[in-house]
Structure 1
Amino acid sequence: METERNGRNSGVSSEARDEIMQLSDNAVAVLKKRYLKKDESGEPTEEPMDMFLRVASNIAEGEYRFKRGEEAEELYERSREQFLRLMTSRKFMPNSPTLMNAGRELQQLSACFVLPVEDSIDGIYDTLKHQAVIHKSGGGTGFGFSKLRPKNDIVKSTMGVSSGPVSFMAIYDASTDKIKQGGTRRGANMGILRVDHPDIEEFISCKRDNDQINNFNISVAITDEFMEAVESDSEFALRNPRDGEVHSMVNARDLFGEIVEGAWLNGEPGVVFIDRINDDNPTPQFPIESTNPCSEAHLPPYDSCNLGSINLVKFVENPGASMGAASGESTIDWDGLRETVRTSVRFLDNVIEQNSYPLAEIDAMSRGNRRIGLGVMGFADALIKLGITYDSEEGLAFAEKVMKFVDDEAWEASRHLADERGVMPNYEGTTHEQRGDLVRNATVTTIAPTGTISMIAGCSGGIEPLFAVAFMRRQADMELPDVNPEFVALAKERGFYSEDLMKQVAEHGSVRDIPGVPEDVQNVWVTSHDIGSDWHVRMQAAFQKYTSMGISKTINLPNEADTGDVGDAYLQAYRTGCKGIAVYRDGSREAQVLSTGSTGSTGKSEAPEEPPTGAPADANTGNYISLAEARNGRPRTLSGVTKKLQTGHGQLYVTMNDDEFGPRECFVVIGKPGGTASAFSDALGRMISLAMTHGASPEEVHHQLRGIQDGHPAGVGPSAILSVPDGVAKAIGEHYMTQDEQRSGGAEARELPVIGACPDCGSGLTRQEGCVTCFSCGYSKCS
């Protein structure tokens, strides 16, 4: 049967072939790099159409699980064509594992899983093994560590004491370093601890030093009781999970302040409102303790998330009318959206059948609960085409309307599937049973990071605002404006286009407050950092009203935001019905300074005023001489700083010293003396010192070294160090350069926060949808 089906797979409609030709160059590049099958030399052996056909055919085979004979054949053919058109039209994309693995040997189609952590050595290390199996298959993992007894608690079997949850998190983190996802990259984890656990303060601070537990996102599970204590400024009980007894009492506001301070320092911890999540849990027989790494999939132990996203901008009719570029009115094709939602739900239910799960326990739970998460992307693009401002009451109203429509239609599709295929096996005991609602799936909607799949679809990510209207892209030794092509087309149509204006927009990153851009365009073409944190939270809350599970979104804060701003965002998220929140303050990740000399508290050295040529004057003749001549030997004493960073080869120490003329020398130390790494590092430091002695600026050195990778990165996201040279560049940048200068000194300059270098291409990484993403090559930690 399999051979016969493959023989029919060459039949593709002309419409689908025409649609595949509309993929952007970026989309094709991402597909070739990450999704298409490759031979042993790494060359693609399939074209984009082959990939979409492979996926559509494989997922359509799920129809044979429920029907036989001619009826099954007809369903297969119809579903295959529908699924193919969904993807080639870019109206819908499944999550990355499905695109990568459907119809291939691995056949692991889920992005993320949650595993239990029981309070026993056997339980802890069984889960450690399961984590390794999942990471090897390409999945991410979430853990609830709240059942583990606190540090120094008695262990009766040995009469010893427990080392506590954070110590075991470190073991799971170390394992992640050694197991690469699907043979290509390290896995991602979520670690969650309840706010009433006695070790909560150690957990909150476990990532203050960016050298530790770098393969985890962490979130505090906030209870309603705790939030009530915060509101009333009262004492709050921490309880030993072993026996439920009160361990100690703390002031709730003080503990809340510690959570807020950690998030202000480096974005962690986030929070999930665990009582609200379980109140909405449709399978209360399976309580939820944790989430997936980006916190949008709320899963009981051994459950998985099977995700896909609808591209909303594809359903905007007469898109030019809102901006005066066409007559009539821009509207949504609600009938077309309804059809796409219902087909997408069938696709995702088939994914559950076709999936090859990494553990038997996960297979049973996933097929029993049949959780799916249909989300959206292209929301910001749709708002622009409709002429709606993101940070406005109209924007919030549209968010609620469109997500309610998607959610309602998804449930209708699930009811139809229940009638056709039967209700979910774990139906008994669910809230659906209590209501008499016959459904096929425990959940139907969630809003996940869309990262690379939104690049394939050619749209904005998830429900985030635009990343940028334009940015300065470095090409060789030049910086050229890279402007959203639809903005260029609009500017030309409306008559305000000019090369100078496009460059100004690229340098600013946004169009707001740019003279020459019409006010209505400024209002609609909005970017992440144009929007206040309160609007970010309100938008998340608007979507949460009609979403089964959670939402992956970043609440962006400017660098000058204080802890009060972070606390306000957390409180607002709770009060407006969000199920969790993650904030990121621009520029909040830095290396640790071990010691400082006389270079000043800012870490920047001020050189004396010099002539335009950069050459100092001879003290006797007044003639300009070379900087190397002026320095004429090294003084006995120089002052500077030493920065410590974690690399894939061990601890790296970078010492930077200055003399009266400015940056003078750099010492790079790693590994034991006499080793290869030590010799390489010493040589690198000597060459940097030689360059600086002859007048090379820190900016030039930073530009040359930033983004170099050696295949052994350390950490993820903002704290990732790609190699020893990349670590040295990071240290030099943080000591001598402003954040803006560091951004512009890399492979790509953007107005919005660049939080690290891409491990694949060296360009800037940014945090979007709660996920780390590269907008140049499509690298993503999450999708």
Structure 2
Amino acid sequence: MTETVGGSAKKTAARAAAKPAAALKVQRVYTTEGRHPYDEVTWERRDVVMTNWRDGSVNFEQRGVEFPESWSVNATNIVTSKYFRGAVGSEKREQSLRQLIDRVVKTYVGAGKEHGYFAGEQDAEIFEHELTYMLLHQVFSFNSPVWFNVGTSSPQQVSACFILAVDDTMESILNWYREEGLIFKGGSGAGLNLSRIRSSKELLSSGGTASGPVSFMRGADASAGTIKSGGATRRAAKMVVLDVDHPDVVEFIETKAREEDKIRALRDAGFDMDLGGADIVSVQYQNANNSIRVSDEFMHAYESGGDFGLRARQTGEVIDRIDAKELFGKLAKAAWECADPGIQYDDTINDWHTCPESGRITASNPCSEYMHLDNSSCNLASLNLMKFLGADGKFDAVTFAKAVELIITAMDISICFADFPTEPIADTTRKFRQLGIGYANLGALLMATGHAYDSEGGRSLAATITSLMTGVSYRRSAELAGIVGAYDGYARNATAHQRVMRKHAAANDLIRTYHANDSSVHKVATEAWQQALAIGAKNGWRNAQASVLAPTGTIGLMMDCDTTGIEPDLALVKFKKLVGGGSMQIVNQTVPRALKSLGYQEEQIEAIVEFIGEHGHVIDAPGLRREHYEVFDCAMGERSIAPMGHVRMMAATQPFLSGAISKTVNMPETATVEEVEEIYYQGWKLGLKALAIYRDNCKVGQPLSAGKSAKATEEKKSSETVVEYRPVRKRLPKKRPSQTVSFTVGGAEGYLTAGSYPDNGLGEVFVKLGKQGSTLAGVMDAFSMSISVGLQYGIPLEFYVSKFQNLRFEPAGMTDDPDVRIATSVLDYLFRRLALDYLPYDKRAQLGIFTADERSAQVAGEYGAPSSDVDLEGLRGSVEAAPAQVDAPASEAPKQVGSSTELLELHLGKAADAPLCMTCGTKMRPAGSCYLCEGCGSTSGCS
């Protein structure tokens, strides 16, 4: 980051404080006295080689890196390529995980000693060993900025989340652009509320009419797109919020939906709206998540069917009225059409605000989990919940609590030495010391313990763990307040802070438990809250907030988590990266553990796992009881979790979080506007702070431009005289040109022979697949005959391509064709190959099918030579216009990490419209309300 606020003079002033009356005694949890954690693991050397999806060239290589043998290849690759510091190939380059952990941990311990946290040298040493052990064994991880910056010559930035502020002056608006740009340049994201800006219905002092916040959003959006294409490590992540009583609220709600309409209209009119297209730059507002802030007053008006007043920004007078149901319907319809805006519940957020005397909470970070004062920041850390699940199936609440104490202590120490992008953010963060501890792997934990994600038992366990985490965090915060002092803003907000602590504790008392696990966790959580209240009443608290649930994108991969944040498992079958290159398909290791916890025997488990490996789901698995199906429900697939199941899980954990939850509720394509409206309404009723939905294929769906015009033509014909047309078969001549292509799809070998008319129109196809006389060979012969006859009767090839591309069945996977690297089935490959060989470019462009050279040329032609700095996410509209494109972007070789995962999720839910990774170009997948690249670890938001 170019501009930071840190300097020795400022830090010295910030550190000035009276000597503490007490100091922290640290006890060992994981480590043994006299033995360093590094000596207790087996280390090995590995080569990290990552390839470019465009041409197969190596875009990162570091050989001989040192990692514990227990770390996966994927975690090794991501940590080496993203977090190791120093120029690649130089002696200063980090080569071992030991160096990375030492760089960070020793900086934290040194600052802790300097600022009087520890009672003595022995306590500091134990603290160092415990942090080292937990990081080494993937028990938790700090957020990415810590790994990027701490202990280096770079500014010591530790925060991933920022909230800015903008007032109704041109100076403030221009400063917003500047501050946001600085944050984007450093690879982080920011959010802000635009509601102070006068609406387009209000007058300026000069007598003219104000531009309104939506107009200023255009400039900020363009700025974000430009900066990220100039070399950011990931896409510009931002959140824009508008209050529901702003007079421009309808325009704001419909902004992104109108842009989606623009994409459709321009594409259908023949404009180039594809990846790298010359006309895609006309699409606006694509770099931000938009959210509406609704008040209880508005929601009550919605319930009663009354109208609602829209207020002038400066005077607060009502200048217009609107039907609340109509406005809420517009909000739901826009979200149904394009997934924006999300919704934030203002009164609920501020009812849980610990510092109302210092200002209201008006906005959030881009992923919606951090919500606090304007011009503030939050550093995050997340625990890997599976590390606390014993072999006996019991969650170790006591060890979990001790781990939370150590992590919270480290997170608070980091604020003592941290640098910040602006002076206002530095000042607010140092005064209020906001922390964001959270967790990952909840979905895996629930499955492993035999709980369905959408079940009372599952929600109870999640609630008790979340309550325990936050209760222990505030208990430790109160203890730290007695050692190094409460946060500066506490005295002014003491009454409100204590009130919120009592609300958390009261919510904990209302948790209903169902099993031994949640009961034992709840008991420890209750003790933690009682102690937090008692100690806090005496000392105050060191931190204005303690916990959030972040997406845990990159750091989730670093910890080898199966699931991110609060999410359920994505699918039961995943692909495992192999040390020697390539990957293999495996059933999630959580599945056999879950079956064992449900009482199945080894023979039954083997049979069920084998069935899942073959079919990808549990329906009709041998010996699996139907009442256990729900345990294996995932976010996507044959048995996907209902939308309200996601909402209910969020509601179960929200009362035990200082902030909010980064999560998108997936909805099927068949969901209605009314169902979206009900989800947003229930979010308010259930006490959530924020909510976003994503309806499958709600972005510009299939890239066929013929659909609209064909429908219009049919409607026109229906009003005219009916004329019967009979197709005429045009047979191929006796002697015709043909070509044969050998292919391999997912290990299955075959041959495609295509014959054409003398004028080069395709007229027949023959496919040889499987042994002669086999059922597969016979079916392919019959299929080839049917397609050939259809072509001769005049059915256009592009029609067949549109119907058969993306068809999904086995065999599927990597191919040996450089133009179509991944296929979801043999037919998917065949018709993509035929399209490439026989259709002109303009028709293939409508179908989203390009050769490898064409894909590279598109990117290079518009943005220069392909590189990690190319603004691929800025072209998101065209990717979303073809959500099912498997071959663009395709991975170039089987060893490309994450490429195989696309086969499981590309056509499902939010993953279908996921952007391309800024770093490696492969398709990203959802992580909370953001996106994550499993190949290189890049994220579109907090990590």
TM-score, L = length of structure 1? 0.80
Out of 419, 428, 445, the position equivalent to 2:547 is: 445
Give unmatched runs, 5+ long, in structure 2. Answer: 1-34, 44-66, 261-282, 499-536, 714-727, 739-753, 763-792, 802-833, 860-865, 889-897
- The structural deviation recorded for 1:65 is 3.7
Contact in 1 for aligned 2:732/2:756 (Cα 8 Å): no
Matched, 1:331 2:405: no
State the AA in 2 paired with 1:162.
A
AA aligned opposite 2:305? D
- Is the Cα–Cα contact under 8 Å of residues 707 and 761 in structure 1 kept in the other structure? no
Q: Which residue matches 2:676?
A: 566
What is the aligned partner in structure 2 of residue 191 from structure 1? 240
Q: How does 1:295-334 map to 2 (within 5 A)?
A: 295-319=368-392, 330-334=393-397
1:748 equivalent in alignment to 2:894: no
Letter in 2 for 1:207: K
Distance of aligned partners of 1:318 and 1:732 in 2 relative to their CA distance in 1, 3 Å threshold: closer
> In terms of mean alpha carbon deviation, does 189-198 or 352-361 score higher?
352-361
Q: CA deviation at 1:276?
A: 1.3
In the other structure, the counterpart of 1:165 is 213
Instruction: Give the secondary-structure state (helix, strand or coil) at the position aligned to 1:14.
Output: helix
What secondary structure is seen at the aligned counterpart in 2 of 1:198?
coil
Q: How many residues align?
A: 695
**2:491 counterpart of 1:428:** yes
Are residues 1:581 and 2:691 paired? yes
Identity percentage of aligned residues: 29
**Displacement of 1:51:** 1.1
TM-superposed deviation, 1:296: 0.7
| Native 8 Å contact 2:440 2:564 kept in 1 | yes
Cα separation, partners in 2 of 1:400 and 1:357, compared to 1, 3 Å: same
* 1:634–1:27 distance in 2 versus 1, CA, 3 Å: closer
Over 3 Å counting, the alpha-carbon distance change for 1:689 and 1:550 in structure 2 is: closer
- Inter-CA distance 745–317: structure 2 relative to 1 (3 Å threshold): closer
| Whole-angstrom distance in 1 between the partners of 2:566 and 2:901 | 28
Match of 1:494 in 2: 602
Please say which of residues 139-148 and 176-185 is displaced more in the overlay. Answer: 176-185
Provide closer, same or farther for how the CA distance between residues 577 and 381 of structure 1 changes in structure 2, counting only shifts above 3 A: same
Q: How far did 1:353 drift?
A: 1.3
Q: Residues 746 and 577 of structure 1: is their aligned pair in 2 closer, same or farther, counting only changes over 3 Å?
A: closer
> Which one of the candidate residues 688, 692, 698 is aligned to 2:839?
692
3-state secondary structure, aligned to 1:430: helix
**Aligned equivalent of 1:27, options 72, 75, 98:** 75
Contact kept? 2:836, 2:849, Cα under 8 Å:
no
Amino acid at match of 1:126: N
Q: Name the structure 1 match of 2:49.
A: none
> Structure 1 residues 580, 243: closer, same or farther in 2, change over 3 A?
same
Alignment partners' CA distance in 1, 2:732 and 2:132: 80
Give the conservation status (yes or no) of the 8 Å contact 2:291–2:342: yes
Could you tell me which of 488, 512, 525 is aligned with 2:632?
525
Whole-Å separation in 1 of the counterparts to 2:556 and 2:707 = 47
The structural deviation recorded for 1:86 is: 2.1
Match for 1:315: what amino acid? F
8 A Cα contact 1:617 1:623, kept in partner: no
Say if 2:355 and 2:497, in contact at 8 Å, map to a contact too: no
Please state if 1:465 is matched with 2:577. no
> Which residue of structure 2 lines up, in the alignment, with residue 7 of structure 1?
none
CA positional deviation for 1:663: 2.5
Deviation (angstroms), 1:763: 3.8
2:664/2:928 contact within 8 Å kept: yes
Shift of 1:141: 0.7
Pairing of 1:348-367 with structure 2 (within 5 A): 348-367=411-430
Q: Could you say if the C-alpha distance between residues 502 and 197 of structure 1 is closer, same or farther in structure 2, counting changes exceeding 3 Å?
A: same
- C-alpha distance in 1, partners of 2:497/2:594? 52
Hey, what does 1:662 align to over in structure 2? 797
Which of 326, 340, 352 aligns to 1:268? It is: 340
In structure 2, C-alpha distance between the alignment counterparts of 1:265 and 1:25, rounded to whole Å: 39
* 3-state DSSP of counterpart to 2:443: helix
1: distance between equivalents of 2:614 and 2:908? 10
* CA gap 1:127/1:701 in 2 versus in 1, 3 angstroms: closer
Unmatched tracts of structure 1, length 5 or more:
1-9, 320-329, 604-615, 636-657, 667-686, 736-742
Alignment partners' CA distance in 1, 2:453 and 2:37: 39
Question: What is the 5 A alignment of 1:37-48?
Answer: 37-39=85-87, 45-48=94-97
Amino acid at match of 1:344: I
Distance in 1, matches of 2:668 and 2:901, equals 21
Which region of structure 1 is more displaced relative to structure 2, 384-393 or 501-510?
501-510
**Superposition CA RMSD, Å:** 3.9
Alpha-carbon distance, 1:505 to partner:
3.5
Aligned partner of 2:351 among 279, 284, 291: 279
One-letter amino acid of the structure 2 residue matched with residue 387 of structure 1: G
| Structure 2 residue matching 1:581: 3-state secondary structure | strand
**Which residue does 1:205 correspond to in 2?**
254
Q: For residues 628 and 38 of structure 1, do their structure 2 counterparts lie closer, same or farther at Cα, with a shift above 3 Å needed?
A: farther
Residues 509, 752 of structure 1: 8 Å contact kept: no
Does the CA-based 8 Å contact 1:555-1:582 persist in structure 2?
yes
| Contact 2:798 2:839 survives alignment (8 Å) | yes
In the alignment, the residues of structure 2 paired with residue 528 and residue 732 of structure 1 have an alpha-carbon distance, to the nearest angstrom, of 21
Deviation for aligned residue 1:543: 0.5
Q: Cα–Cα, structure 1 residues 662 and 595, in superposed 2: closer, same or farther, change >3 Å?
A: closer
- Residues 316/575 of structure 1: CA separation in 2 closer, same or farther (3 Å cut): same
Deviation sequence 1:328-374 (CA, Å, 0-9, x none): xx211121011001111101101211211111111110010011111
In structure 2, C-alpha distance between the alignment counterparts of 1:598 and 1:254, rounded to whole Å = 28
1:89, 1:479 → 2: CA distance? 24
Which residue of 2 is the match for residue 4 of structure 1? none
Tell me: CA distance 1:200–1:110, structure 2 relative to 1, closer, same or farther (3 Å).
Answer: same
Please tell me whether the aligned partners of residues 574 and 901 of structure 2 are also in contact (alpha carbons under 8 angstroms).
no
Does the CA contact (< 8 Å) of 1:112 and 1:304 recur in 2?
A: yes
Flag the 1:662–1:376 CA change in 2: closer, same or farther, 3 A: same
What residue in structure 1 maps to residue 308 of structure 2? 236
8 Å CA contact 1:140, 1:292 repeated in 2 = yes
Aligned residue number for residue 738 of structure 1? none
1:398-437 maps to which residues of 2 (within 5 A)?
A: 398-432=461-495, 435=498, 436=537
Cα gap change, 1:292 to 1:13, in 2 (>3 Å): same
Q: 1:333–1:733: structure 2 CA closer, same or farther, 3 Å change rule?
A: closer
Change (3 A) 1:412 1:99: same
Deviation by residue 1:721-776 (Cα, 9 ceiling, x = unmatched): 5xxxx7997698899xxxxxxx9999634364322353244443222311112234
What's the secondary structure of 2:694's corresponding residue?
A: strand
CA–CA distance in 1 between the matches of 2:124 and 2:854? 50
1:557 to 644, 655, 667: 667
Check conservation: 1:772, 1:780, Cα contact below 8 A: yes
Q: 2:204 aligns with which of 122, 141, 155?
A: 155
- 2:458 pairs with 1:395: yes
Q: Distance in 1 between matches of 2:872 and 2:210?
A: 27
The equivalent residue for 1:511 is: 618
Which residue identity does 1:374 align to in structure 2?
A: I
Q: Please state how far the C-alpha of 1:520 moved relative to its aligned partner.
A: 6.3
Cα 1:255–1:777 change in 2 (3 A) is same
Q: Which residue of 2 aligns with 1:619?
A: 731
Equivalent position of 1:87 in the other structure: 135
1:683 maps to none
The reply to whether residue 15 of structure 1 matches residue 40 of structure 2 is yes
Question: Could you tell me how far 1:410 is from its partner in structure 2?
Answer: 1.0
Change (3 A) 1:252 1:593: farther
Deviation of 1:473 (Å)? 8.9
Which residue number corresponds to residue 483 of structure 1? Answer: 587
* 1:778 match: secondary structure: coil
Question: SS state of the match for residue 561, structure 1?
Answer: coil
Answer 1 or 2: higher relative contact order, Cα 8 Å, separation at least 6: 2
Write the distance in 1 (CA, Å) between the matches of 2:417 and 2:844.
58
Q: Secondary structure at the match of 1:663?
A: helix
- Structure 1 residue 700: Cα displacement: 10
Q: Structure 2: which amino acid aligns with 1:575?
A: K
